[in-house]
A = this chain, B = another copy of it.
Amino acid sequence: MSERGLLIVFSGPSGVGKGTVRSKIFEDKTNKFEYSVSMTTRKQRPGEVDGKDYYFRTREEFEEMIRQGQMLEYAEYVGNYYGTPLTYVNQTLDQGRDVFLEIEVQGALQVKEKVPDGVFVFLTPPDLVELRDRLVGRGTESVDVIDSRIAKAKEEIRLMSEYDYAVVNDEVALAAERVKRIIEAEHYRVDRVIGRYRHMID
């Protein structure tokens, strides 16, 4: 009997650096888990590749996916949909391979309802000062917008308790390494591996 893969859900407040840490994790080509590409209705930017950065779909197509129950999770953000198509995730897990999702907190909680035995990893800033510095450093947003994002981040950090693990993003390489250790350790959890050893006790 082949074991089902692990669903790894990597999330955290907006601005914490999820994408950067995820890129660092996937620099390691020996990883045994696969990245699930998100679907979005936002416009494709120059350089972005459909099916690699995102699946770019129209609003109508996305809403049809939702209606047919084909989204594992989705959320609307600044007028666009973002979400995870269910089929790829299920097929990969069924083949015994792990799937790595990098998604927003709102979506992660939806996944937790549907897949409670997933591994939920929360990326947290060391503190809010650091988060603010990061948002200011991007230089793309006004003070008002940054204030509202900090307020939203506080709400999201409150949801940390819904997760299995919390990893601090003090340094990208360290944070990436921690996430990889967590994924490895989760493969040794008794409830996941006990089937391998049943032949000794039956």
Contacts and interface: CB of A to CB of B under 8 A. Distances in A.
Given A154-B200, A199-B127, A201-B154, A182 B190 contact: no
Q: Is the interface of A mostly helix, strand, loop or mixed?
A: helix
Interface string A163-202: 1111110000000001001101110111101101101110
Contacts of A148: none
A6 interface: no
Given A154-B201, A157-B197, A185-B181, A190 B127 contact: no
A30 interface: no
A136 interface: no
A128 interface: yes
Nearest to A197: B124
A161 B194 contact: yes
A158 interface: yes
B178 A181 contact: no
B165 A201 contact: no
A21 interface: no
A160 interface: yes
Contacts of A185: 165, 181-182, 184-186
Given A128-B200, A166-B197, A197-B166, A161 B182 contact: no
Contacts of A191: 161
A188 B201 contact: no
Given A127-B199, A128-B200, A190 B161 contact: yes
- For the complex of A and B, the 4 pairs showing the least CB-CB separation, nearest first, are A185-B185, A165-B188, A182-B185, A166-B190
Given A160-B197, A181-B185, 19 more contacts: A124-B197, A127-B199, A127-B200, A157-B197, A157-B200, A157-B201, A158-B201, A161-B191, A161-B194, A165-B189, A165-B190, A166-B188, A166-B193, A166-B194, A166-B197, A167-B188, A178-B184, A182-B188, A184-B185
